[in-house]
Every structure is written in C-alpha cells, then in structure tokens.
Amino acid sequence: MAEDLNGKIAAVTGAASGIGLATVEALLDAGATVVMVDRDTAALEKLRERLGERAIPQVTDLLDSASCDAMVPEILEKVDHIDILHCNAGTYIGGDLDETDPATIDRMLNLNVNAVMKNVHGVIPHMAERGTGDIVVTCSVAGHFPVPWEPVYSGSKWAITCFVQTMRRQLNKKGIRVGQVSPGPVVSALLADWPEENLKKAKDSGSLIEPTEVSDAIMFMLTRPRNVTIRDMIVLPTNFDI
C-alpha cells in the first residue's frame, strides 16, 4: 500500500526549474509542504506567489560554503522538521576534457558532488534523531555508463552513485531511506551546454524526456511502504541509445 505524503515536509534543492520544480509541484499536489531551495531569489518569490503558502522559499547558494553549511539550520527555522530531502541541484558541462578549464571543473564538482555530500551530512542528525526520513538524490544515467562526450559530468555522477549507495547502507539502520533517480537526457536548461549536434540528434529522434517524467519516478520512490527502498531508478527516453 502506498505511503501518504499528505502533511509531510520536504526540502528540494535546485527547486526553481527543471526536475526540482517538477518535484516541488508533485509534492504539493500530494499534500506536502515544500521548502524550495535555490539561489534565484526572484524565481523563488514568483513560485511562492503561484504555488501558495505550502511552498516556502529558501535562498541558498550551494557553491558558497557558508551558505551551503547554513541550509539545513535555516530550513529548520522555517519548518519544524524535514521528512524528505531531495538533493537535485546540479550543473552540466560536456565536450572533451581539454576543451574546459579548471575553474569550470571545480564548479561542477563542488555542486554535483561536494554540495550533495554536505547537504546529506547536514540533515543526518535531524533525521536520525527522529528515526525516519527519505533522501533522494538526482543522479544520471551518466553515473552508470562512461559517456565519452561528457567525462567531467559523467565522473561527477559516478561519484554520486557510489556515495548514495554507501549512504543507503549506513543510514537504513537509522530509519532513513536513501536512493537515487538516474534520468537520461531531460528537457532542461542543463542541456544548453550539450554539443549542438548531440542535442539536435536527441530532439529529432525523440530521445529526451520531460522533468515531470522524472518527478513521477521520485514520487513512486517516496510513496513505497517503509519496508521498501527503491535504491536507484533509471528513467530513459525509449529512443535513447546508451
């Protein structure tokens, strides 16, 4: 029997667009209260006005160490607990390694890997004290396959796959479920850096999925009975060729 999310409190990073926003909307539709974490203050305010009082803005810059460290405490000043943490924020770079630069590599690894680890680290004491919680991380099919046209991105997602699966084993003893959703290419701003020929090929062949198709998978994960953990759900466009 599916778990009821009505009355639950969730926090979603990268909440102002894409998969994050789709998850926010799905959780709200299910009756949850959602803290929308993003660095885009203006976007969060517009969303609060559109989505209503159960959508609570939290301005956090995950690339700023102090802001990232303060995220969980600041969320807990706005709500009395966190049932669900969806670590979704991330960035993308494609192309050969020698086509990028060290600063861009640092930014990607800091957001895709370090911020996720720090967000999970920050919420563990709170969830462990309550003896329950769900942590879902947006990974990628690139965390399961060495994609040759995106070595830095693929490397960051392989790191997160390892992290999520080790944390799943650590935290299940504390009543905390940990899993990841691994989409193929999603229609979002992240694909702006895709090599144009790859993006055109994907669009022309129908090899892209919508953010809502990923949020549907996340909602399935979150609504399983507590004795069930969906450790990783890979969601691909049917025509995607990896």
Radius of gyration of the chain from Cα atoms?
17
Instruction: State the Cα–Cα distance between residues 13 and 186, nearest whole angstrom.
Output: 17
Instruction: State the Cα–Cα distance between residues 117 and 162, nearest whole angstrom.
Output: 11
Q: Rounded to 5 degrees, what angle do the CA atoms 86, 88, 90 make?
A: 160
Give the DSSP H or E segment for 54.
Answer: none
Q: Computed from CA positions of residues 12, 48, 189, 215, in that sequence, does the dihedral angle turn out positive or negative?
A: positive
Instruction: State the Cα–Cα distance between residues 238 and 23, nearest whole angstrom.
Output: 22
92 assigned to active site: no
Given the residues 153, 158, 163, 194, the one annotated as active site: 153
> Quick one: tokens of 52?
């209503």
Instruction: State the Cα–Cα distance between residues 135 and 103, nearest whole angstrom.
Output: 29
Instruction: Point out the residues that are catalytic.
Output: 153
